[in-house]
Structure 1
Amino acid sequence: MKKEAKPKRSAVAETAPAAKKAVKAKRAVAAEAAPAPAVEKAAKAKGSTAAEAAPVSAPEAKKAKQPKKEKVVRDSFTMPKSDYDRIAALKQKCLDVGVPVKKSELLRAGLMMLESAAPQRLLAAVSSLETVKTGRPAKG
């Protein structure tokens, strides 16, 4: 009498789809409970809580059409160490007044300021920069 060999299924393979569904459900619940990032930043800046800054209830917020988020682009660039140090100093300045900021946020804020500057001021700022060789720096 020969026993028929049954294909073995691991317990991990059987529970993987269920585990993925559970993780998705947890994320959905967390996303509903969490305040919107813009509201959260505004609340931090004003020193109030997110609940005070957002009097709209969650179901009403879902009904209102969310503005479509702009697609983000990932990029890299080369800059002198002194400019990189300036970014760190500006981040520290912001932290000193209680506003945590990311490098990308500082660069975007700088773009906004340059955009609003007079053309002569913009050209003066650009022409005062030293030329940097593009690409990755040599190892060493």
Structure 2
Amino acid sequence: MAAPSTRKAAKKAVSSPASSNGTAVAAGAPAEAPRKKAVTAKAARPTTPRAKRGSPVEAEPVSVAAEHKPKRVKKEKVVRDSFTMPKPDYEKLGELKAKCLSAGVAVKKSELLRAGLLLLEAAPLAQLLEAIAAVETVKTGRPAKPSHQTAAH
């Protein structure tokens, strides 16, 4: 008979809400009865694991781990600009995008232009000047509207 009553007390202690001192109290039961059963249950278990669980020593490694988080790197501000280029050069951007895509790399036009800047920056001065000389000069600004569109309005 003693074994079944011990099991019932263990079930009540597990399923009932915890009191402020960490022991479980059965709802509607007298205050003394659960304490006696909880004491017998505590006597069967070692007290050291329970002391470690509630000790603030375990909370410190969590805060130490939080301190080792890398700081956020601020993103650089981007500048939006427009430029003019001949149509064949613009089409080369599309060809280069397709070439990268066939290699399994999706790239944007702005990324291609920035990659070109990196290559030009790393090139020797003579090669840079050669590339500049090969590029034709275009008139800056927006292209003029064709005259037949303005006459239609």
TM-score normalized by the length of structure 1:
0.55
- State the secondary structure of the residue aligned to 1:92: helix
AA partner of residue 90 (structure 1): L
Task: Establish whether residue 125 from structure 1 lines up as the match of residue 131 from structure 2.
Answer: yes
Deviation at 1:67, TM superposition (A): 1.5
Deviation at 1:63, TM superposition (A): 2.9
Residue 76 of structure 2, aligned match among 64, 70, 80: 70
- State the secondary structure of the residue aligned to 1:133: coil
Taking the aligned partners of 1:78 and 1:136, their CA distance within structure 2 comes to 7
Deviating runs (4+, > 6 A) in structure 1? none
Give the aligned partner of residue 111 of structure 1: 117
Structure 1: gaps spanning 5 or more residues: 1-58
Give the aligned partner of residue 87 of structure 2: 81
Structure 2: gaps spanning 5 or more residues: 1-64, 147-153
Q: Which has the higher contact order (CA 8 A, sep 6+)?
A: 1
Deviation at 1:66, TM superposition (A): 1.5
How many percent of aligned residue pairs carry the same amino acid? 64
Taking the aligned partners of 1:93 and 1:131, their CA distance within structure 2 comes to 27
Which digits, 9 at most, give the CA deviation of each residue in 1:80-113, with x for residues without a partner?
A: 0000000000000001011100000000000000
Which digits, 9 at most, give the CA deviation of each residue in 1:53-84, with x for residues without a partner?
A: xxxxxx96x93101121110000000000000
Deviation at 1:138, TM superposition (A): 1.4
Indicate the structure (1 or 2) with the bigger Cα radius of gyration.
2
AA partner of residue 135 (structure 1): G
Taking the aligned partners of 1:66 and 1:123, their CA distance within structure 2 comes to 39
Deviation at 1:134, TM superposition (A): 0.2
